Amino acid sequence: MEHNFDSSMVTEDNLVFGGKRLLEVDNTLPVPVNVPLCFLITSSDVLHAWAVPELGIKIDAIPGRLSHSLTLVRRPGLFYGQCSELCGIAHGFMPIVIKAF
């Protein structure tokens, strides 16, 4: 199953009470629990380091190349990550949220 989508950080003006500043997104990535997952990662501009530490994922996103990472999410919940390298002016505004169900 392929799932492509766009996701952007929720601005402070739109953040709900209790939300995580600079980590909340408008569109979470839904994934099933206890199903092997393969993430295909690439970039359209510069090198990025796509990271979701709680799932043990940190992989480089390289323009013009596909990188992959295999994982198995063992419990439902929200898993937060972000670009973990200094990749440009908007580096601090690239959160990742995975919602396991």
Residues of the chain predicted below pLDDT 70? 1-5, 90-92
- How much is the pTM? 0.81
Residue-level pLDDT at 32: 95
CATH of 28-100, one of 3.30.450.40, 3.40.50.2300, 2.50.20.20, 2.60.40.420: 2.60.40.420
CB-based contact 92:46 (threshold 8 Å): no
Residue-level pLDDT at 92: 67
